[in-house]
Amino acid sequence: MNRKFILASGSPRRKELLALIVPEYEVFPADIDETLPEGLAAEESAEFLALQKAAHVSEKFPESIVIGCDTVVISEGEVLGKPADISDAERMLKKLSGKIHTVITGVCISCGEHREHFSCKTAVEFYPLSESEIADYISTGEPMDKAGAYGIQGRGSVLVKAVNGDFFNVVGLPVSMLKRRLDDFLKTV
């Protein structure tokens, strides 16, 4: 049987990256409450949300292969999601300045009740940032819809000193790991 693929995300970056391994798919963003349960470890939050997104969309399309994803930035045990406003973006960038943080993308592949989920971690080091560098970057508007208030694939690339791990994971989709997991998943459904 030829199954339809669905990306449970509206992220333009994820759309581009998924097209590298799944040429034809549809997009159906998961509209879920992203509140994390109390006591959930920061490192488990991306995979938890990816599972929720994939399960939600799988209910609507039980015969399709649904891919749900969530990316979080973790610095000193704090999950840095998308900034609420400019001052929140400034706070996040100051927190990341001159330090190493972790980017985790959780992924869930789902078809009906059958699910496979995993996480990919990448360490990212920022250069020390001046107040003016932070203000200039925020003025571009780029940080406002990105976890951790930066986009490594855009103007935020100039903030990054080093990446240890999967670069595409930081963009929002660990392409090579997903390809392998998806190939294995397709053998079971």
Q: Which residues are annotated as catalytic?
A: 70
Q: Give residue-wise pLDDT tens across range 136-177.
A: 999 999 999 999 999 999 999 999 999 999 999 999 999 999
User: Looking at residue 34, what is its pLDDT?
Assistant: 86
pTM of full prediction above 0.85? yes
Own/partner contacts of 175-181, CB < 8 Å, gap of 24 or more, are 175/17, 175/18, 175/20, 175/21, 177/107, 177/118, 177/120, 178/18, 178/21, 178/67, 178/107, 178/109, 179/21, 181/107, 181/109, 181/116, 181/118
> 26 falls in which pLDDT band (50, 70, 90)?
very high
pLDDT at 1 > cutoff 70: no
Domains of the chain: 5-186 (3.90.950.10)
Whole-angstrom Cα distance, residue 80 to residue 42? 10
111 pairs with which residues across the strands? 114
User: Looking at residue 69, what is its pLDDT?
Assistant: 96
User: Looking at residue 35, what is its pLDDT?
Assistant: 86
